[in-house]
Amino acid sequence: MKNLLFVGFASLVLLLGYSATSQNYNAFRPEGTGGEVMYGKTEDSLRAEFERKRLTWPPEAMFIRSFKYDRQLEVWVKGNISEPYKLFKTYKVCMQSGAMGPKRMEGDYQVPEGFYYINEFNPNSNYHLSLGLNYPNASDRILSDTLRPGSAIYIHGNCVSTGCIPIRDLPMEEVYVLAANVKMQGFQDFIPVHVFPVRYNNRKSLEYLNTQIKDNKYLQDFNKNIREAFDYFEQKKQLPIILVNQQGEYVYPGI
């Protein structure tokens, strides 16, 4: 148990950790008048859409799920930390590089698969706006190339990808401003991001995945492992506690 907690401590605290410390509003805002106007208009639009959907604005928590084959990025929110997540919106991922399977080295063009959190807000990105993911995470550091695991994985605007998750500029404005507002509430210090190869509950998607990995025992075991978190969220609309063992496998206490 000591080894499990030692390896997985960052996953537990940083995927689920909450902080009472609010953030500096200006740290998230783009530079220049145009950026200020965009931010304000997007915030107003989000507030109105939350009201139409009878969701609490601003939410206290946010969760992002992305599905590679389905080319979708979901945003879930909580008006209150204690309540279940509710789906706010599903965005189209406009381009994807790589294939089914996790990212394991620099330059493999793979979009990571697994469990991450937003560790960077870049309001002045070359790709309009961007949110950085903490790749490599605790599991990746065990299973990926030890010298060149890769880095700089983002959810961003524009429509290019060498391992990132692009959703074009206008959708990115919504996701970015929403994430910034969640951070500023101070209840959720780290916004979790789960990336899966497919929607496991979509028959066509699952059939595609099974065809792609039918001769790959490693990917079969990997998908069996990460699907546990997908199934748990589908049932509970809450996130499981996620740890990492010495073999780099995800472990879910309580499931």
Give the type of residue at 52: R
Tell whether the model's pLDDT for residue 158 goes beyond 90.
Answer: yes
pLDDT, average across residues 44-57: 98
Domain spans in the chain, listed from the N-terminal domain onward: 2-251
- Between 18 and 191, name the one with better pLDDT: 191
pLDDT at 15: 39
Cβ-Cβ contacts under 8 Å for 184 (sequence gap 6 or more): 22, 23, 25, 28, 58
Answer yes or no: pTM beyond 0.75.
yes
Helix segments in 146-187, DSSP class H: 169-185
- pLDDT confidence bin for 20, thresholds 50/70/90: very low
**Which whole-number Å values give the CA distances from 141 to 15, 23, 131, 149, 240, in the listed order?**
16, 29, 21, 7, 21
pLDDT at 30: 83
pLDDT at 98: 87
| CA proximity to 154, closest of 142, 145, 167, 173 | 167
- Between 18 and 71, name the one with better pLDDT: 71
Q: Where are the beta strands (DSSP E) in 8-113?
A: 61-67, 72-78, 86-92
What percent of the chain stands above pLDDT 90? Answer: 82
User: Which of these ranges, 15-24, 123-132, 240-249, has the smallest mean pLDDT?
Assistant: 15-24
pLDDT at 27: 76
pLDDT at 1: 45
User: Which of these ranges, 8-12, 148-152, 169-173, 181-185, has the smallest mean pLDDT?
Assistant: 8-12
- pLDDT confidence bin for 17, thresholds 50/70/90: very low
pLDDT at 104: 96
Using an 8 Å Cβ cutoff, are 161 and 191 in contact?
Answer: no
Superfamily of domain 2-251: L,D-transpeptidase catalytic domain-like (2.40.440.10)
pLDDT, average across residues 150-162: 93
What digits encode the pLDDT tens for the residues 57-102?
999 999 999 999 999 999 999 999 999 999 999 999 999 888 999 9
pLDDT at 22: 42
Tell whether the model's pLDDT for residue 236 goes beyond 90.
Answer: yes
Tell whether the model's pLDDT for residue 117 goes beyond 50.
Answer: yes
Tell whether the model's pLDDT for residue 255 goes beyond 70.
Answer: yes
- pLDDT confidence bin for 11, thresholds 50/70/90: very low
